[in-house]
Structure 1
């Protein structure tokens, strides 16, 4: 469609038999050479300058446009321009090409036989003047006439957008433009930092999406205006080619997420979510095309995606506004700015409307207005939330005051009714308090009983499991060692068989008391089951745990249990596991390792201490 439109425009241009001469007076006003240019489309793209110079005048057609724009298509165009210096002195002029995204631009006739070669598919240092756009210096002697030939080939918009200025006018123009561009990108940076700070404080993802949208939009503009190729990647030609559609699709992606959150589409119709998911998928597809597909395909896809998303966002905004969602008013205005700016930019790129300073900076102007409006809308959203919160607080306070009034009336009524029963109420209250205190004490005793072993008075296994989990988590955080002792009374069945179960119970109580005496305040000793005991030793390495285990073993062996005049000798087999817990360590693992060490102690003859050793653990 675009190629057909371009062909029609070229066919409508009148044929010419001569070259229009552009006279350059000594003026500070820029001159647009487009209407004075002639164009010849190179069908094969392989023509040399000698061939082009010898073309008959009938092969050339008038451009008749001030921007020399021929749309998209990747064709090669030759432009011819005849210049004349009517002054009586040598004049220095600058031919500035305002489209920094041209792939290749060659100029003949600027400086003798020297050929100007530039483009964003050539290294940046090849340019004669270090500038974000293509700047072609030109010196004309007094009364001199010169013919220039420009060769333009690009996969993007074949838009020359050239202007001629004296060297002094160009310097003044450049200072003004750098000031405006600095203000533009400075405003974007302020909005980015401001909204990112709000996200850090509030953790509201809408501000994160908005910040990413501002950042990617800034990158898009930085690329479109030529700053990125000049300052960020002057040698990365492959990235320069794909960065423009990539940044456009990336900004669209974050714009979709931002719109979905701020308009609260999730709470609306389900079709909003389905369309949003489709648009997000389309953005990802365009990003993939930018990285893998031909540049022209990715560029057109990014433009189509941008227009569709902008129109859909505008429609969603109007629907939400119609549904009574107040913040949608400002968003409707903001999207209108972006849609108008995008249409101006796309139509200018296709050549349908003439390229100018307005169309060149349309997206900057519209985008900046849109971002400012969105920032105001976000601030209004905060104010609306604060107003809703204050309203809710006022309603809550009013309700509380009403409850207090009702409560006061109820108390007065109760006082009148129960004045004669006050003493009995006090007595009943005192009785109830005593009963509650007794019940609380009984519950406390019951809780203690549920945590302790009834025979030995030690903590039971449930407490051991709970405390081991807590101590293990603390050891992981502090990276301090933790030790587990698993202890078993040797030949305890023989004690029960020879002396009776009452003597066995006495031995269990005796062993528990002897071991408890040697425990530290922050250690925990529990009855594990039967004649087995377990101890949790926090902040204790293997050497300390082994030493304590040996003390427990020696102490019990040297202090037999006295029961009904009978001295019953006892001994302990102890398994030790100590380590600095790793992230994947767990309570069951520690108990299992300590139990394995205990079985080794029993297998080695009992009445001894064995330590668990494994290379997979970080033992102390």
Structure 2
């Protein structure tokens, strides 16, 4: 029996081993396909996809891991996100997310991954571009973003049938909530138009409330309208910051200020809301307990403002959220008590505070991850704040109507008394006429003042438009203005058949200046160079900062010889006039490339800029601190 058993099993063993080897080979061949089994198909048309459930996450509590280390992690450490908003609450850890994307379409439609949380401190993306890493966030300069947008927008381009893995690193002191959506560029443009329309209506409504209540305050001098106007203004600023508009338009480089402005604006809105509630509910005439509670809340507001200015950001942020929730709840309770005590207008205020409480709780719970992000929760505070402010405006209007009704009742009593005292009636009617005339005159004066203010605002807008054409550091025209003026100059030169010259100027070894003397010294050198160059140009010439340490001069009616002569003067002047900075003398030199001539039918514009730039590169290659004019044969050969 043993011999028969060995004889029967020995031929099968090699077959089993061969089958095992084949299965192992098939598994190795299928591993790449299995790795992409959960890839996300990219959408088409107007469809939007929430990639959260397709993502995998790995948490880095210390935030020290780099991309090479993360990419080498085994699949076993990655966990499925599951949530469509990819929210992880408050913690400060770094979260690595990976997402496999697949283009099932016959062509590349161009996609955008739009991050719904504009307040992420840092967001890095690997895999968007083979040569670059996307780095953005509200604690990085706005200019780093690949798409100029208030939210973080990541462009995606996949070839037909291509599958690609995208890696995201998210780290923030606030709510670690990605809340991303994936769509085509066409759908993104459509969404952006609709979003800007809604945001414009929202902020327009806030501005209308602000102007309306300020106007009433100017007429009546009732401080309730002043506090309400300040509350609307600070709430508008809070929303402007939260939605990403402030970083885009107000302070794109002031990252430290942007970090503290969010809890600070929230605390200021709460502070003015307390003053408004205290005034409009006339708590000074109520129980002393009201005054003690208001004093305690004001102290908490000042503490949160202090934390926002000098304390840790996360503590200030959570403190501001807790303050908003506590103040809204306490205001709601006090309003109900005042309503019960017979203050008729309190019912409208109770409704307004109830809406604000619900909206604030939804926003806070969404930030902690307890509620999923959606269009409703994302804009809950906007919707609730707008409803609350509308209700408050109606309540304030009710106070006016109540005052008017009281006035009419007083007039009725006076008329009843007038039947007995004819002389007193005439005197009172005359006094009432005088009061009405004086009120009408004050309304006219305030209207005129408002018109004057609007005129001043219009003038300020014109000045702002001019500032937008200038470079903030040097005061020269910026690159956008250069492009506009260059097209006009080319058109003029082509019509008049007059020569036109373009000088491309670059400060030599400018990085060494920054490294040796600091960036503030570098800024001083840029301003010094701009001033020295501008002094040598005519009034009709245009000088613009092209970017970094590069300048472009646009010279009308200037041929090649004149341009070379002027360029040599500029080079020599800057070499002989070093930049004075803090008892130092920083030597500077210029490399200049230029092109001049009469534009032909092909025009000039960006083409001539490119020719001048090529001449500039030749000047740098030739040793710097020199002037080189564009020569087609030499440069094209190079």
The alignment's TM-score, normalised by the length of structure 1, stands at 0.62
Are residue 288 (structure 1) and residue 309 (structure 2) matched? no
1:29 is matched with which residue? Answer: 47
Once the two structures are superposed, the pairs formed by residues 599-614 of structure 1 within 5 Å of their partners are none
Q: Which blocks of at least 5 consecutive residues in structure 1 are unaligned? A: 1-15, 408-620
Q: Out of 399, 402, 406, which is 1:384 matched to?
A: 402
The answer on whether the counterparts of 2:100 and 2:163 sit within 8 Å (CA) in structure 1 is yes
Indicate the residue corresponding to 1:323 in structure 2: 341
Maintained 8 Å contact 2:58/2:77: yes
Which residue does the alignment assign to 2:150?
132
Q: CA RMSD in A?
A: 1.7
Q: CA offsets per residue over residues 469-507 of structure 1, 9 Å max, x none? A: xxxxxxxxxxxxxxxxxxxxxxxxxxxxxxxxxxxxxxx
Measured in 2, the distance between the counterparts of 1:52 and 1:58 equals 13
Q: CA deviation at 1:355?
A: 0.7
* 1:188 correspondence with 2:206: yes
Q: Would the aligned equivalents of 1:17 and 1:57 in 2 still touch at CA under 8 Å? A: no
Query: 1:79 Cα deviation (Å)?
Result: 0.4
Partners of 1:359 and 1:157 in 2: CA distance? 14
* Alpha-carbon distance between aligned partners in 2 of 1:73 and 1:357, rounded to the nearest angstrom: 24
- Counterpart CA distance in 1 for 2:222 and 2:369 is 42
By how many angstroms is 1:376 displaced?
0.7
Structure 1 Cα separation of the partners of residues 181 and 63 of structure 2: 25
Matches within 5 A, 1:172-571: 172-402=190-420
SS in 2 for 1:186: helix
Q: Is the 8 A contact 1:19 1:38 kept in 2?
A: no
Shift of 1:222: 0.1
How many Å separate the matches in 2 of 1:378 and 1:47?
56
Deviation at 1:402, TM superposition (A): 4.2
> Which range moves more in the overlay, 305-314 or 45-54?
45-54
- 1:199 and 1:208 in contact (8 A); partners too: yes
Aligned length: 392
Q: Distance in 1 between matches of 2:416 and 2:75?
A: 89
Counterpart check, 1:51 vs 2:69: yes
Residues 310-367 of structure 1: per-residue CA shift (max 9 Å, x gap): 0000001101111110100111111111111101100000000101111111100100
Provide the residue aligned with 1:121 in structure 2. Answer: 139
For residues 264-304 of structure 1, give each alpha carbon's deviation from its aligned partner in whole angstroms, at most 9, with x where no partner exists.
Answer: 11111111111011111111111011001000000000001
Instruction: Indicate if the aligned counterparts of 1:94 and 1:170 stay in contact, CA closer than 8 A.
Output: yes
* 1:392 to partner: Cα distance: 1.6
| Residue in structure 1 matching 2:98, options 80, 87, 100 | 80
**1:89-137 Cα deviation digits (max 9, x unpaired):** 1221000001111000000001114100001111110000110000000
TM-aligned CA deviation for residue 19 of structure 1: 6.5
Taking the aligned partners of 1:238 and 1:77, their CA distance within structure 2 comes to 23
Q: Which has the larger radius of gyration?
A: 1
In structure 2, the partner of 1:90 is 108
1:143 partner SS = coil
Matched residues in 1 for 2:251 and 2:291: separation? Answer: 38
Deviation at 1:389, TM superposition (A): 1.2
CA distance in 1, matches of 2:244, 2:234: 16
- Secondary structure of residue in 2 paired with 1:164: strand
Matched with 2:81 is: 63
Per-residue CA deviation, residues 224-281 of structure 1 (Å, 9 max, x unaligned), is: 0000000000010110000000000000000000001111111111111110111111
Q: What SS does the aligned partner of 2:165 have?
A: strand
Look up the SS of the partner of 1:158 in the other structure: strand
Task: Say if 2:172 is the partner of 1:161.
Answer: no
Distance in 2 (CA, whole Å) between partners of 1:30 and 1:300 is: 32
Are the equivalent residues in 2 in contact too, given 1:256–1:276 (CA < 8 A)? yes
- Residue equivalent to 1:513: none
2:124 pairs, out of 76, 83, 106, with 106
1:43 Cα deviation from its structure 2 partner: 2.7
Write out per-residue CA displacement over residues 171-203 of structure 1, whole angstroms, 9 at most, x where no aligned residue: 000000001001100110010011001101111
Aligned partner of residue 167 in structure 2, secondary structure: strand
Work out the CA distance in 2 between the residues paired with 1:294 and 1:316: 32
Structure 2: unaligned runs, 5 residues or longer = 1-33, 426-638
Give how far 1:396 is off.
2.4
What does the per-residue CA deviation read over 1:368-405, in whole Å, with 9 as the maximum and x for residues that have no partner? 01111110110010000110111122112213324569
Alpha-carbon distance between aligned partners in 2 of 1:402 and 1:315, rounded to the nearest angstrom: 48
For the 8 Å contact 1:85–1:140, the answer to whether it is kept is: yes
Distance (Å, rounded) in 2 between the aligned partners of 1:25 and 1:361 = 25
Alignment pair present for 1:149 and 2:176: no
CA distance in 2, matches of 1:229, 1:360: 19
Report the 3-state secondary structure (helix = DSSP H, G, I; strand = E; otherwise coil) of the residue aligned with 1:87: coil
Please tell me whether the aligned partners of residues 61 and 92 of structure 2 are also in contact (alpha carbons under 8 angstroms): no
